[in-house]
Amino acid sequence: MAEKTGTLYGIGVGPGDPELITLKALKILRQVPWIFAAASSKNTYSIALNIVRSHLNGAGIENLPFPMTRDPDLLAAAWEQNARRVLAVLEAGWDAAFITLGDPLTYSTFGYLLKTLKQLKPDLKVVTIPGVTSYSAAAAACQTPLSEGEESFYVVSGALGAARLREALARTDTVVILKTYRHFPEIYRTLADLNLLECAVCISRVGLEGETVVRDLRELAGRPLPYLSMIIVKKPKQREGEPPVPATG
């Protein structure tokens, strides 16, 4: 073990466009000798790595495999193994970066890594560099303000189920639904039931090849969405005397 343990930088590389990386992230990516990226255990593809590849200058690159499963035991075991690997590099005295899509503390694998590393070594030095979130880039792509004045917005997972999606829609002005991919049919039905299809826009692969902005969700009915897709629902302003969007039915 080296005398001094290295620092881990958790870096958000933005949602896709390589120009949406912060100057700070870029500086660190060009300084660190080792870069980790999360990849599925089935292949070595990392979207985050593809985004930064053109910016790198010689750092070693290592994919950390994580299984596409919801089994908490399998996930915990994979994260412990990944955290131990990261720790081994840091304890050899090297600084390292862990790159993630968008922001590292928004629905990101970095959260799991951070938690596991802090359990293994509570005094580990970790610096987190925020990134442009996917929904900021999506709002920009469709020029839809997420909130104005006293409005508020929720960011939810598409996997939360119809009942909780209705609750979210009833409680706030704008709802951003991430992780829509496999859940699109249920989301579509919920929005249709609430007469909100016309207030929704679906943004896929923002900043990446094949970016699309679909303002009429009916065009997408029955079709698979690209993996990187989200839906922004901006509710119409309630006029006096009108009932709010119901939470049920």
Ligand X SMILES: C[S@@+](CC[C@H](N)C(=O)[O-])C[C@H]1O[C@@H](n2cnc3c(N)ncnc32)[C@H](O)[C@@H]1O
CB nearest ligand X: which residue? Answer: 102
Q: Is 21 in the site for ligand X (CB under 6 A)?
A: no
* Closest C-alpha to 109, from 172, 57, 65: 65
Q: Would you call 201 helix, strand, or coil by DSSP?
A: strand
Nearest distance from C-beta of residue 101 to ligand X, angstroms: 5
Q: How far is the CB of 116 from ligand X (least distance, A)?
A: 17
**Least distance CB 102 / ligand X (angstroms):** 2
Binding mask 167-206 for ligand X (x = CB under 6 A): -----------xxxx---------------------xxxx
Q: Are 232 and 200 in contact (CB under 8 A)?
A: yes
Which of 36-44, 58-66, 98-106, 237-245 is the region at the interface with ligand X (rule: CB under 6 A)?
98-106
Q: Which residue's CB is nearer to ligand X, number 33 or number 111?
A: 111
Residues 6+ away with beta carbon under 8 Å from 146: 135, 139, 153, 174, 176, 232
* Binder of ligand X out of 20, 103, 116, 187 (CB under 6 A): 103
The C-alpha atoms of residue 148 and residue 187 are separated, in whole angstroms, by 25
Q: Which of 5, 46, 63, 106 binds ligand X (CB under 6 A)?
A: 106
DSSP annotation string for 67-99: -S---HHHHHHHHHHHHHHHHHHHHTT--EEEE
Q: Which stretch binds ligand X (CB under 6 A): 28-36, 79-87, 133-141, 189-197?
A: 133-141
Which residue, chain included where needed, has tokens 């039931």? 193
For the sheet containing 200-204, what is the strand order?
A: 153-157, 174-178, 229-234, 200-204, 212-214
Binding to ligand X, residues 25-84 (CB under 6 A): none
Least Å distance between CB 30 and ligand X?
22
Q: Which two tokens stand for residue 7?
A: 């620092």
The residue among 8 and 178 lying less far from ligand X, judged by its C-beta, is: 178
Name which position in 207, 232, 235, 245 contacts ligand X (CB under 6 A): 207
Spatial distance between the Cα atoms of 158 and 153, rounded to a whole number of angstroms: 15
Stretch that binds ligand X, among 23-31, 102-110, 166-174, 215-223 (CB under 6 A): 102-110
SS3 category, 182: helix
Binding site for ligand X (CB under 6 A): 15-16, 100-103, 106-108, 133-134, 138, 178-181, 203-208, 228-230
